[in-house]
């Protein structure tokens, strides 16, 4: 008989902004965002909850954020301090389990199956971890507790900020029936709209679709949707996660007017990427790939529409230039941002988006 897994997903609340508020208490009650300057076409990395009440969101342009909230206090990111806070949080995790899968500086899965801390209660462990993060690091975190990673991550968002939510094995069916499909992994606006056209806005409605028809419509994603809408997720908590992608991008102070201007800007971007790629260890001593690297180009046009293009081949200037030509033709208008990178694949499974 298999042991029911106990997975905790810890997610710090507005992490970068939380560190800034911790270090500068005067910022606690004012709308605050961490990001780049508007005059440099900066983007919001994260913001606190007072800012969110004005409609400010992560990944929003700083200019739009300031239009929505003229009193917004904008600070540049300080990644050294964020890394130090992350390391302190990770040290707390290690007091409970070594089965830790970091997702980012402020987010991780913990597998606490069969452990004796807090009388074996994952809920009590999550509560204690959150209390220690508040006391020792000075910021708040939310937690989700469930039998698998999918549900734990969904649950951690349920009572944000500074809360936690438990989904027990016996509650999965009822919980999933009410869950909007937009909360599932990999379901963005476009996929959610396609599912709505099919009459599937909740997981209960999606469960009526047989596996074969979902695969026919969505390919491999269809099989994932079939499992997810039933709360099924067999993924293990992995201590070391292989890098899925590597990329660089540049937002330009002045739009690149045409394809020729984009091509002229490309070599500097590719040189920057090549240096990062060499440092990453994705190539061996004799430049033989340790992983399969699929080149990708990202383009954001001046109307904020964007496209990505990828193809098999080596990540060289000529390959990126060919992809750039293909992608630019889709919009054929001035460009505000270019990105180049690779998707890295060791064993062949599908990868998440390069620029999530």
Evaluate whether the domain defined by 245-345 bears CATH number 3.60.15.10.
Answer: no
Whether residue 308 contacts residue 355, with contact meaning beta carbons closer than 8 Å, is answered with yes
Fold of 172-228: DNA polymerase; domain 1 (1.10.150)
> Over the stretch 228-238, which tens digit does the pLDDT of each residue have?
999 999 999 98
Mean pLDDT of the chain, nearest integer: 89
How far is 350 from 263, CA to CA, in rounded Å? Answer: 30
The model's pTM is 0.75
User: Which tokens hold the place of 39?
Assistant: 């005059």
Give bridge partners of residue 34 from the DSSP assignment. Answer: 46, 75
How many other CB atoms are found less than 10 A from the CB of residue 344? 21
pLDDT at 354: 40
Q: Please pick, among 4, 107, 205, 346, the residue that the annotation labels catalytic.
A: 107
Instruction: Inform me whether the pLDDT recorded for 224 exceeds 90.
Output: yes
| Positions at the binding site for Mg(2+) | 11, 106
| Positions at the binding site | 11, 106
Domain extents in the chain: 16-78, 172-228, 245-345
How far is 241 from 312, CA to CA, in rounded Å? Answer: 23
How far is 174 from 190, CA to CA, in rounded Å? Answer: 26
| Consecutive H or E run containing 215 | helix 211-218
> Over the stretch 250-291, which tens digit does the pLDDT of each residue have?
888 889 999 999 999 999 899 888 888 777 655 443 333 445
> Over the stretch 111-157, which tens digit does the pLDDT of each residue have?
999 998 999 999 999 999 999 999 999 999 999 999 999 999 999 99
> Over the stretch 41-96, which tens digit does the pLDDT of each residue have?
788 999 999 999 999 998 888 999 999 999 999 999 998 999 999 999 999 999 99
Q: For residue 107, indicate whether it is catalytic.
A: yes
Closest CA to 73 of 95, 54, 96: 54
Q: Which CATH class is domain 16-78?
A: alpha beta
């Amino acid at each position: 008989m298999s042991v029911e897994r106990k997975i905790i997903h810890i997610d710090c609340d507005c992490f970068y902004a939380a560190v800034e508020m911790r270090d500068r208490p005067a910022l606690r009650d004012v709308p605050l965002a961490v990001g780049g300057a508007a005059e440099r076409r900066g983007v919001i990395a994260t913001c606190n909850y007072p800012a969110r009440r004005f409609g400010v969101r992560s990944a929003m342009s700083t200019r739009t954020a300031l239009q929505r909230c003229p009193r917004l206090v904008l600070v540049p990111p300080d990644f050294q301090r964020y890394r130090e806070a992350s390391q302190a949080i990770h040290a707390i995790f290690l007091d409970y389990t070594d089965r830790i899968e970091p997702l980012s500086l402020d987010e991780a899965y913990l597998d606490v199956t069969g452990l004796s801390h807090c009388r074996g209660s994952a809920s009590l462990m999550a509560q204690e971890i959150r209390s220690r993060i508040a006391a020792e690091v000075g910021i708040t975190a939310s937690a989700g507790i469930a039998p698998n990673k999918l549900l734990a991550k969904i649950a951690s968002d349920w009572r944000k900020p500074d809360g936690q939510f438990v989904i027990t094995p016996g509650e999965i069916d009822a919980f999933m029936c009410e869950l909007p499909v937009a909360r599932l992994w990999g379901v963005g606006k476009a996929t959610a709209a396609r599912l709505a056209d099919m009459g599937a806005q909740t997981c209960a409605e999606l469960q009526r679709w047989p596996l074969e028809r979902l695969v026919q419509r969505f390919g491999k994603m269809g099989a994932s949707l079939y499992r997810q809408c039933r709360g099924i997720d067999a993924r293990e908590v992995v201590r070391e996660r292989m890098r899925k992608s590597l990329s660089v991008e540049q937002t330009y102070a002045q739009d690149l007017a045409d394809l020729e201007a984009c091509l002229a800007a490309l070599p500097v971007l590719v040189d920057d990427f090549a240096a990062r790629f060499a440092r990453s260890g994705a190539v061996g001593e004799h430049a033989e790939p340790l992983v399969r690297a699929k080149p990708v180009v990202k383009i954001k046009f001046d109307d904020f529409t964007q496209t990505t293009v990828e193809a098999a081949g080596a990540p060289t200037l000529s390959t990126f230039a060919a992809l750039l030509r293909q992608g630019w033709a889709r919009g054929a208008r001035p460009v505000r941002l270019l990105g180049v990178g690779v998707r890295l694949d060791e064993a062949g499974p599908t990868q998440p988006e390069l620029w999530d």
